[in-house]
Structure 1
């Protein structure tokens, strides 16, 4: 086990977020990794009983429930009020694209209370946008799945025909994914009928249609970075995604840290060329058809599974951020390979889906270099207990909805039969 890196305990940190996602293990990872390094950590939370709010490593919870529908000026005012309440300049760590964009675009106003990476103001919004990211990749010659951003239903159909079914649908932009979502999450559509059924006539919400890279011969890779001023990569990690939920499209439920020099250089070179500064979470898909890594997503903030990665000095990307912004050196050491990240309860349905589809045991069940669990921690047990309660509540509500829907269907069918009999 590496020694804890020497972070500056005089500079606090703030877990910064916009939107409602109380069961987010990435935010808990931020609180734990900085708290264990003796940094005072504050957090924006939805309520006092969110898992993060119950962590022993959290100094203060600011209950500021948001939806992302608020006026940006109101969100900015809330962050400024939190900064004044903390009373000393601190390091904000965003865990969603909207918070990262808000902070970057209002850096001048926030600089009085927060230590911020000097990222170009408009860059996080460009990178978080699926269509604008694709355009950037094409301009720079970076591999990217073929994509279209239709303006109306006719263009939607044309995009499906051009790219070939199945296609993948994504919410096109940050903010609009909360305000006018096109899909709940990344969604595969098998045919044109399914595409039309999903979007009835009328205004088309902001959506990206992306080619589906066949699973045969493909691999899903992750690159997490911290880049200093000018886009200089100070910490670069790569890993292989083993499973996700929903399958093949959702959040990572199990992954393994695995050094990939080719991918690491691709990710680092991209950040250098665009001058990206800060923490980044990049999703890549290796396409066996042409042997290229293709950038699927660029998240300009801490990723949910960032704790998968450490270097041999115990530095992850969030610790690298704090070290750099407080004027300390970021140790340039090799990453620890073989670490496995498991996202708690979400990995159970992903295992079941794998068994159902593949008829064999999934990879990564036996960790090689130790397991980083998203929730379970012997020295910080309350967040896992709170997550279990919330998870069971979510499952119960969904089962209840399914039962009610089926019951309503049975009753409707019975009424239809009765009407036929009477006729």
Structure 2
């Protein structure tokens, strides 16, 4: 694998979330190969900014609610500073959608996969993804999308509980989102109480709850394009997440799953998606089907879990492909696991108390390599920077947590 070290990369994000191991992972992945890596950061002391592999931290404080033209102008200014065609690596939906919707304006300064108009925004939208799944025969959780308060009240009269509430378009940030995250609702009274805050236009999706006792979470990461030989595809089973059974991956292990790999590859081909993506599937043992819950049209935070035997991950595959290099053919490394240090201790404790086990998780004897989300001996500074940023928000989250609420992703 011989990367083009003349072509720099920019890890792009909008909004305030300085503790993001996926961005640090992307910086390290390309930086270790000698690729100059730039990063958009909130300030000069974020984990991404202090990495030894960050060529330059571009301090740009955004909320993600800015008009697209303003974000476009800021991105083009960064491109001018870098001075040469630069690979874009979005780490959130806001950035991925902006790049996809402003492809023509960005094409002279940046390298990125070309996608059909409107596709990335549809995939990042809960309703858009649901519609695509129905159109292409992909199983997904049953869902309702009330447009008005009257529609929501009518839905409540016949709803089957428990159900799950999510923000309909998570890439469209609001000053006050409908729900803070994926939220379980146990009865009609709880739904109506939440709805009091949603106003006349709820902006939520109300989704069938898939009970964890009858389900199992899987991850698929992929790089794909119109050229068949540019595809790299990985599968893993999620062992723990935080919040439990809901949020970000805390620990997962690469596990072969040919059925799910083929299902994911066929779906991307049918809809014409190109680039890197992170898909969250839930296997429902009640009907024996994999149900697509999320399609993130960008690198996932846990992408460093996955490597091929040729030491290619998704970010390296993207850089190789868009600079005209060949992606070496190789199988994924099986039994490789990721542990995210700032969330896995709490997740481990919660899973131990619930006695939940993941049936498809390989036994420890078959675990091979371990990737840490934050610590790296050749790049130590992001770890203490993460700790400094994580302690206060973590305590605040624990204080605000309520036993009556659980979450499902």
Residue in structure 1 matched with residue 375 of structure 2 by the alignment: 376
Larger radius of gyration: 1
Q: Is the 8 A contact 1:67 1:178 kept in 2?
A: no
Residue in structure 2 matched with residue 344 of structure 1 by the alignment: 341
Residue in structure 2 matched with residue 394 of structure 1 by the alignment: 393
| 1:398 to 1:272, Cα distance in 2 relative to 1, 3 A | closer
| 1:124 to 1:360, Cα distance in 2 relative to 1, 3 A | closer
Alpha-carbon separation, structure 2, partners of 1:230 and 1:370: 30
Q: Does residue 1:21 correspond to 2:17, yes or no? A: yes
Give the deviation of 1:122 after TM superposition.
1.3
Aligned pairs for 1:146-225 within 5 A: 146-160=142-156, 162=158, 164-200=160-196, 202-225=199-222
Q: Does residue 1:292 correspond to 2:289, yes or no? A: yes
Give the deviation of 1:174 after TM superposition.
3.6
Alpha-carbon separation, structure 1, partners of 2:186 and 2:242: 19
Question: Helix, strand or coil for the counterpart of 1:345?
Answer: coil
Give the deviation of 1:214 after TM superposition.
1.7
Alpha-carbon separation, structure 2, partners of 1:273 and 1:206: 28
Instruction: Pick one of 301, 322, 327 that aligns with 2:324.
Output: 327
Alpha-carbon separation, structure 1, partners of 2:115 and 2:87: 14
Alpha-carbon separation, structure 2, partners of 1:361 and 1:227: 29
Question: Helix, strand or coil for the counterpart of 1:241?
Answer: strand
Instruction: Pick one of 35, 46, 58 that aligns with 1:50.
Output: 46
Question: Helix, strand or coil for the counterpart of 2:111?
Answer: coil
Q: Does residue 1:108 correspond to 2:107, yes or no? A: no
Which runs of 5 or more residues in structure 2 are unaligned? 402-409
Alpha-carbon separation, structure 1, partners of 2:282 and 2:249: 14
Higher fraction of helix: 1
Q: Is the 8 A contact 2:65 2:172 kept in 1?
A: no
Give the structure-1-normalised TM-score: 0.89
Q: Does residue 1:31 correspond to 2:30, yes or no? A: no
Alpha-carbon separation, structure 1, partners of 2:185 and 2:9: 41
Cα deviation, 1:272-298, whole Å, max 9, x if unaligned, reads: 111100110000000111111110000
Residue in structure 2 matched with residue 248 of structure 1 by the alignment: 245
Residue in structure 1 matched with residue 405 of structure 2 by the alignment: none
Give the deviation of 1:343 after TM superposition.
1.2
Q: Which moved more, 1:391-400 or 1:298-307?
A: 391-400
Q: Is the 8 A contact 2:238 2:252 kept in 1?
A: yes
Residue in structure 1 matched with residue 406 of structure 2 by the alignment: none
Residue in structure 2 matched with residue 412 of structure 1 by the alignment: none
| 1:401 to 1:240, Cα distance in 2 relative to 1, 3 A | closer
Q: Is the 8 A contact 2:241 2:247 kept in 1?
A: yes
Cα deviation, 1:246-295, whole Å, max 9, x if unaligned, reads: 11111111111111110000010011111100110000000111111110
Question: Helix, strand or coil for the counterpart of 1:188?
Answer: strand
Give the deviation of 1:222 after TM superposition.
0.4
Alpha-carbon separation, structure 2, partners of 1:116 and 1:122: 16
Alpha-carbon separation, structure 2, partners of 1:258 and 1:39: 30
Which runs of 5 or more residues in structure 1 are unaligned? 403-423
Question: Helix, strand or coil for the counterpart of 1:334?
Answer: coil
Q: Is the 8 A contact 1:311 1:333 kept in 2?
A: yes
Cα deviation, 1:121-145, whole Å, max 9, x if unaligned, reads: 3110010000111011101101111
Q: How many residues align?
A: 398
Q: Is the 8 A contact 1:160 1:209 kept in 2?
A: no
Cα deviation, 1:313-371, whole Å, max 9, x if unaligned, reads: 00111111000000011122110010111111201111121122228999789581121
